[in-house]
Structure 1
Amino acid sequence: MSGADDIAALDFASVTPEEFARRVKKMSAKDINEIARDGALRARVLAEVFGRMEAQFKPEAAGSLEVLIRWKITGQGDNGEAVWETSIANGTCTVTEGRTTAEPRVTLAMGDADFLKLVSGNSSPVTMFMMRKVKIAGDVAMAAGLTRYFDIPKA
């Protein structure tokens, strides 16, 4: 079974963030790109990851922070760019699919494989930026510190 088949067979409701991180860690970029080419599976994985972001949010770390973060997952082939936004305000985190008219404080753009490696704790955001695997527009310092606001799983 390929890594993409493994993810496709997952019952996301019963998988902990740590288990998901372990599965992503075992996957090659080829496996992740296979997920990205399957539009329905890609949409399901992205929705699950972003859906869990609110639960992984650490309000005590955010304090009075107010910020809008735009995520652009660049996609490939027929599955183009996916855009999600994370709004942090008043000690809460709200995630929405799509681009709003609001101006984000920071925009992070990356491919599917890099996104999954980043959000599963399998890649360092600073290393990814230095290697140009993630492009940052706006407040680079905010982007560098984003991980402190979320409970990132460890694989």
Structure 2
Amino acid sequence: MADLSVDPKKLDVAEYLAAMDAATVEGGALRTAAPPEFATMVKRTSGDQLKALDASPMRERVLETIFGRMGEAFRPDKLSSSRASLVRWHVGGESESIYETELSPTGCTVTEGTSDSEPRATMTISFPEFLKLASGNANAPMLFMTRKLKLGGDIGFASNLTNLFDIPRS
């Protein structure tokens, strides 16, 4: 999967992790893939492979890649407010990672960790479900209804977040 053309369904978990290791290094295929390629790769990845990825060192590289590309996918023209809004993401699973996205009419700024600022919305989701959401392979309302996505703060704003980004489709 160094070029994301290898079908994850044809790989066992160890082969998948080795491929993801190559794909997530600096300049690797995951970091340079077009969003639809990423979406297709996630769609074809099994639950066991996602759990193994969650427990691996590649987890943080995958999250860095996704959050690092949010600015490119952000649609400031869809933002209904002229004020900046902070969204805090708690991505759980084998460990917890926290990212903050500040959304404003001028763009999307991402930082890792928690700031002293009060978020307008807080999203709590597991790593596998976050990958599915970020790749367009799950929808936020269904994740919320099945309690796989927890929202805090301004629920109305949080429920509209997916409309603020060009989310890939496989």
TM-score (norm 1): 0.91
Q: Which residue does the alignment assign to 1:103?
A: 118
Of residues 141, 152, 156, the one that matches 1:141 is 156
Structure with greater contact order relative to length (CA < 8 Å, sep ≥ 6)? 1
User: In structure 2, what residue type is equivalent to 1:8?
Assistant: D
Gaps of 5+ in 1: none
Q: CA RMSD in A?
A: 1.4
8 Å contact 2:77–2:105 — kept in the other structure? no
Alignment of 1:1-155 (within 5 A): 1-2=11-12, 3-10=16-23, 11=28, 12-38=30-56, 40-62=57-79, 64-76=82-94, 80-155=95-170
* Secondary structure of 1:9's aligned partner: helix
Relative distance call for 1:49 and 1:102 in structure 2 (3 A) is same
1:13-63: CA deviations, max 9, x gaps?
43111100100001122111111101x201100000000001111121125
User: In structure 1, what residue type is equivalent to 2:145?
Assistant: M
8 Å contact 1:62–1:91 — kept in the other structure? no
Gaps of 5+ in 2: 1-10
TM-score (norm 2): 0.83
User: In structure 2, what residue type is equivalent to 1:121?
Assistant: G
How many correspondences in the alignment? 151
* Secondary structure of 1:43's aligned partner: helix
